[in-house]
Chains A and B, each alone.
Chain A
Amino acid sequence: MSAAPGLPPLLAANPRLDRWVGFGEPGRVTVSTGRVEIGQGVLTAMRQIAAEELGVRLERILLRSGDTDLTPNEGYTAGSQSIQFGGVALRLACAEVRGALLDHAAAAFSYSRTDLAVEDGAITHRGEPTGHDYWSLAAAVDLTRPARGAAPTETSEPRRIVGTNAPRVDLAAKVFGEPIFLHDMVLDGMLHARVVRQPRRGATLKAVDEAALRRTAKGPIEIIRNGNFLAITGPDETVVEAAAAVAPSHIAWDGLDPINPFQEEARWLLQQPSINRVVDAPPSPTPTPATNRYEATYTRMHIAHASVAPSCGVALYRDGRLEVWTHSQGVFPLRDALARTLKLDPAMISVRHVQGPGCYGHNGADDAATDAAVIALQMPGKPVRVRWRREEEFGFEPVSPAMVVTARATLDEVGRPADWTTEIWSGRHSSRPGGGGNLLAAEALPDPPPAPPATESPNPPGAGTRNGEPLYGFPAKRIVHHLIPETPVRTSSLRGLGATLNVFAIESAMDELAERAGEDPVAYRLSVLPEARARAVVEYVARISGWQPALPSGTGQGRGIGFARYKNMAAYAAIVAEVEVEDQVRVIRVWCACDAGLVINPDGAVNQLEGGIIQAASWALKEGVRLDTAGISSRDWEGYPVLRFTEVPEVTVELVGAAADLPSLGVGEAAGGPTVAAIGNAVAHALGARLRDLPLTRERVMAALLKS
């Protein structure tokens, strides 16, 4: 089926209208989205978009999401793109379906098409009922046809549903403890399973004392082995869990090569072989006096997704078909990766999304699903549930890579950058399973598909280079990127990717340049920020936070600002943070102004921004993955602390420029970089000394105090 030209990419890739909208159930509209709920409220927003465009009440929408048999293929739910791209495709599909039904009504019953409208699914003629509705007409309209992209959307009518704070559709089930998470799923005859992981990448199984394993187990277990993949299954989860806990003492491995624990801090990246790339022209060789140059280097350790619960996967292999239930961000890419890894026809695999704990990127979800699938293939007819252990999620999920960023500028006569370079060293920020490799269990199987090579996506949006280019109007800007393919631990996408450290570096530099020029950081930024929408959020956040120029520094109290437009193509966000620093940093208050264009659900967007701010504060103050010779050693919440209730700042978020006529811009990741930057700037203000290495721990604060 070929798609009409000019369609948004996701509609072009999924052109059949009935893949998006159906009227199979009386009085209900079945709407499908390839996007999945990961705590961001997308199910609620997609319902609003569909209800608005179809002209029905929200309650009529039955939403299907993330199912390879039923929904459009929208790749991954990631990158703050669901509304910005997925929402646009859904909206156009709904508009076209609505148009097709009205066209049919006009033709079949000799109405003038322009006199027809829809009121909660009923067709009206000049405002009077016609006796026809979507459900009575649907059978006569061919929705298997491809979208043409010709139907107008409902922009001319006042919006009724889009732009309102519709409550989250999934929240009630969660506050009443209903079993809606994948972890709660039970299938008849389901077996529980735990994987005994290879202690290191490439380790080989030397010996398994199966007799001892069975002897120590408190109930029936089965031991599943496939190459170097080893798992324990049984009907009683408690028994299986206990057996897995003692299993390592009954198993011998070869090939336990140590890793270098000093690679915990990021500066080792500077000495590694790298794939190098320059975005935009190389620096001009104009000699500049040192007084007119700025250079400083910023680092960040590996960061864990640290989902509140470890990953889970359920699989059933029956009659040659594999069914997988997962909380992965991408059911279609996972299906394709499973097909390659397990050497099955993708058409024989169904992957369905069920909600899990928030992931914030590529955590262990795909790997746990793969574990379940590998075991299920060896136990046909039996549903298999794998629930990772806490230490497994911390120890084996792909973490966000450590990074080093150098911000470098030559300044003009009034202290503004005339030439700017962001130089970035980073491991890979994306090793999602789509390419066929990259599934943890695959490495243990006898004949795995080759791991795809490390790559960097082009800018924008970039991955490690994301937001590496400042939005400021400097005459010359470039990114120098060093992609380090070999890292001590698996790395992949975490909310914001490279933007977090890139924005931290750029915005720290901006504060230092303002200080050098003897100017207020807000005024200095505004003097080099050409875009009106960008200026507006900076001005707005300064106003709501009561920003005052020239407050004294080094008093232990500080405030700082950070700004970015996420990916230089999503929402604009400016943040002010207020901190107190004694021996350690406390973030007291955070203000955020965000311009996200047309906002589908303002409270949902604010919720996402608030959450992003708190999570980023946690990254800034506390987070860094610990390594020892065996790999990741921070395998519990004491080893990997995150911000707790007594430590969170009060947060104020305001949506500005709520421009109904401008396209929606993704907000999920918009606040992270600016928040870390604002906190860094506030800490520098409080201390009178700058910390350039994240996290901003007590040790680093004390060292800075001793030095100054």
Chain B
Amino acid sequence: MPTVDLIVNGREVNVSADADTPLLDILRNHLGLFGTKFGCGLEQCGCCMVLVDGRPEKSCGKPLSTLVGKQILTIEGLGTPERPHRLQQAFLDEQAGQCGYCLSGILISAKALLDRNPAPSRREIAEALDDNICRCGSHNRILRAVARAAEHMREEGGAR
């Protein structure tokens, strides 16, 4: 079985798995990172969104073989209860979520947006999240939370 080196949440890991194993399975079943969710396995819903070298990607459709040496960021690498990312804090402040199953993928898509556009409009936030399905209807709270996080990050001069 081939082994592949990845950098996950800033940590170098060595994974031994079949080359076409989806990144999602690597994260969940090989590395024990359950924050990234299975939603469809068809790259249609965004539950499994991660950043690969800073770009938002659906991990259910990313075979291990395409990821050699890549930097991967998952929800676990975004922030912790002790050191929450501004986005996570804003989602808590806005109470943005119901079942919450979609949230880790949405937070990752939002992180990718704010990395390239620190002052997005409501429309731009919605467009950046359009690959993510939320079925509970928490959309407006989520849009507000991302705008709030962007505002806080601008105030802090992009410190985090």
Residues of A within 8 A of B (CB): 38-41, 165, 167-168, 170-179, 181, 183-184, 218, 236-238, 241, 306-310, 355-358, 360, 387, 389-390, 603, 607-608, 610-615, 618, 636-638, 642-646, 648, 650-651
Contact = CB atoms under 8 A, between A and B. Distances in A.
Contacts of A389: 41
Contacts of B138: 607, 610-611
Interface in B107-160: 107, 123, 125-127, 129-130, 132-143
A607 B141 contact: yes
Given A177-B104, A178-B34, A181-B101, 14 more contacts: A174-B104, A175-B84, A177-B74, A179-B35, A218-B18, A238-B18, A307-B135, A308-B39, A308-B134, A358-B135, A387-B38, A608-B98, A637-B42, A645-B126
Interface residues of B, number: 59
Q: Which of A238, A648, A651 has the most CB of B within 10 A?
A: A238
Shortest 9 CB-CB contacts between residues of A and residues of B:
A177-B35, A39-B99, A614-B137, A174-B100, A611-B137, A177-B75, A358-B99, A179-B34, A39-B98
Q: Which of A237, A360, A648 has the most CB of B within 10 A?
A: A648
Nearest to A608: B98
- Main SS of the interface on chain B? loop
A238 B20 CA distance: 10
A13 B134 CA distance: 37
- Main SS of the interface on chain A? loop
B20 to A, nearest CB: 9
B140 A648 contact: yes
B44 A638 contact: yes
Nearest to B25: A238
Contacts of A387: 38
A650 B126 CA distance: 12
A238 B21 CA distance: 7
A615 B134 CA distance: 10
B72 interface: no
B45 A176 contact: no
A611 B98 CA distance: 8
Interface string B62-86: 0000000000001110111100100
Nearest to A646: B126
Contacts of B99: 38-39, 308, 355-358
Nearest to A604: B95
Contact of A390 (B40, B80, B135): B40
A168 B136 CA distance: 15
Q: Which of B47, B95, B123, B130 has the most CB of A within 10 A?
A: B95
A187 B80 CA distance: 25
B88 interface: yes
B39 A39 contact: no
A176 B140 contact: no
A175 B137 contact: no
6 contacts: A38-B99, A165-B95, A170-B100, A309-B47, A310-B38, A390-B42
Contacts of A614: 137, 139-140
Contacts of A236: 29
Interface in B34-58: 34-42, 44-45, 47
